[in-house]
């Protein structure tokens, strides 16, 4: 069993001066793609998923299968993390299911999708931290509002994180990790031209890291949106708009400024979807989706392995993590 906490994996990353990719997954083939990449590159890894994002009828069934898949990879430290938990109840469900880390996103109201007050964000985050601590589970929170679509339904405007608020927020909530809005956005539409320092505020990372040195910083919306994958998707029936993401060298640079967790969903999904579209188009008689999914899994795994080298986590699974069950027993003692 290699399931361990976000805190432990990110502490190791900070000590080693590297970043860890947190890869969004929405089906079990994608879980396998990420874990295969971790095993082949000897990388500690974070597998993350948003509640309701899979095609399974219930989160509980999907999450159970996801956690069981991790058992097949004893050679690498794995964090199973809930991405963008919209409320305390969803975070508690993921913790009860066996996740070793959850994100409570108290920056947006779960119903109106409007930014919440600082006080409301602190209150819901504290509730989740109290529940998670008793069970040895790590917690990430969000300050400021990262733009774009988290679940295909919301399109919040970007509100940059305020460094003084970040320090106050951490003092009040004691979270393990903080997602700071620095100009990135989620999804397949990010920047209208290659981003410079006025839109991608890397300086904020450095300032905030200096104020909260014991808290891990998370860069959301880190996909690069590779143009070659967009062209393949669009040549096979897709209609993705031209857009620029976060350049690879900026992601690598962020790990030197204070980021330890780098969130990526769209790039992996583009790799998976492009390969599936090509496979389906190549066989007009295809009815069984498995061969196309197999091509998608292989393409996604190759892309994730490449990113692991960029983030610096490749070759760093050289330690024995504390299994979550032991961490939880220590917290309850």
User: What amino acid positions are annotated as catalytic residues?
Assistant: 83
Nearer to ligand 13P by Cβ, of 276 and 328: the residue is 276
Nearer to ligand 13P by Cβ, of 260 and 263: the residue is 263
Nearer to ligand 13P by Cβ, of 45 and 328: the residue is 45
CB 158 within 8 A of CB 185: yes
CA dihedral 228, 35, 19, 95 (to 10 degrees): 120
CB 264 within 8 A of CB 22: yes
Q: Which of 260, 277, 257, 262 lies closest to 224, judged by CA?
A: 262
Minimum distance from CB of 84 to ligand 13P (Å)?
6
What residues form the annotated binding site?
84, 105, 142, 186, 220
Burial of 284 (0-12, 13-18, 19+ CB in 10 A): exposed
CB 331 within 8 A of CB 133: yes
Nearer to ligand 13P by Cβ, of 121 and 264: the residue is 264
Distance, CA of 250 to CA of 307 (rounded, Å): 13
Q: Which of 40, 53, 49 lies closest to 67, judged by CA?
A: 49
What residues form the annotated binding site for Zn(2+)?
84, 105, 142, 186, 220
CB 213 within 8 A of CB 206: no
Interacting residues toward ligand 13P by CB under 6 A: 24, 83-84, 186-187, 220-223, 263-267
Partner residues linked to 85 by β-bridges: 104
Minimum distance from CB of 229 to ligand 13P (Å)?
12
Distances (CA, A) of 38 to 77, 153, 215, 251: 9, 31, 25, 18
Minimum distance from CB of 291 to ligand 13P (Å)?
26
Cα 218 off chain centre by: 9
Number of other CB atoms surrounding residue 125 within 10 Å: 29
> 3-state class of 330 per DSSP?
helix
Residue 323: phi and psi, rounded to 5, are -60, 145
Number of other CB atoms surrounding residue 203 within 10 Å: 11
């Amino acid at each position: 069993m290699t399931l361990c906490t976000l805190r432990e994996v990110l502490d190791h990353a900070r000590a080693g001066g590297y970043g860890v990719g947190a890869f969004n997954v929405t089906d079990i083939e994608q879980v396998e793609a990420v874990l295969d990449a971790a095993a082949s590159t000897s990388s500690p890894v974070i597998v993350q998923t948003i509640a309701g994002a899979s095609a399974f009828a219930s989160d509980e069934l999907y999450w159970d299968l996801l956690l069981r898949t991790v058992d097949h990879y004893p050679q690498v430290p794995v964090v199973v993390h809930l991405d963008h938990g919209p409320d305390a109840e969803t975070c508690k469900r993921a913790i009860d299911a066996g996740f070793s880390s959850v994100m409570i996103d108290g920056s947006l109201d779960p119903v109106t999708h409007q930014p919440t007050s600082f006080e409301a964000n602190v209150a819901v985050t504290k509730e989740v931290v109290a529940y998670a601590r008793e069970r040895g589970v790590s917690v990430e929170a969000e300050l400021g509002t990262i733009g774009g679509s988290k679940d295909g339904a919301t399109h919040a405007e970007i509100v940059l994180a305020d460094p003084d608020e970040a320090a106050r927020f951490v003092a009040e909530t004691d979270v393990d990790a903080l997602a700071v809005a620095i100009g990135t956005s989620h999804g397949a539409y990010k920047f209208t031209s290659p981003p410079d320092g006025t839109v991608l505020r890397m300086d904020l990372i450095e300032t905030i890291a200096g104020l909260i040195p014991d808290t891990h910083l998370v860069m959301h919306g880190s996909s690069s949106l590779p143009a070659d994958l967009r062209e393949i998707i669009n040549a096979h029936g897709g209609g993705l708009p031209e857009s620029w993401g976060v350049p690879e060298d900026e992601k690598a640079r962020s790990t030197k400024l204070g980021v330890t967790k780098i969130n990526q969903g769209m790039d992996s999904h583009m790799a998976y979807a492009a390969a599936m579209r090509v496979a389906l188009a190549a066989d007009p008689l295809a009815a069984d989706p498995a061969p196309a999914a197999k091509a998608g899994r292989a393409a996604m795994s190759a892309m994730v392995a490449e990113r692991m080298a960029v983030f610096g986590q490749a070759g760093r699974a050289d330690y024995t993590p504390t299994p979550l069950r032991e961490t939880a027993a220590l917290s309850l003692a």
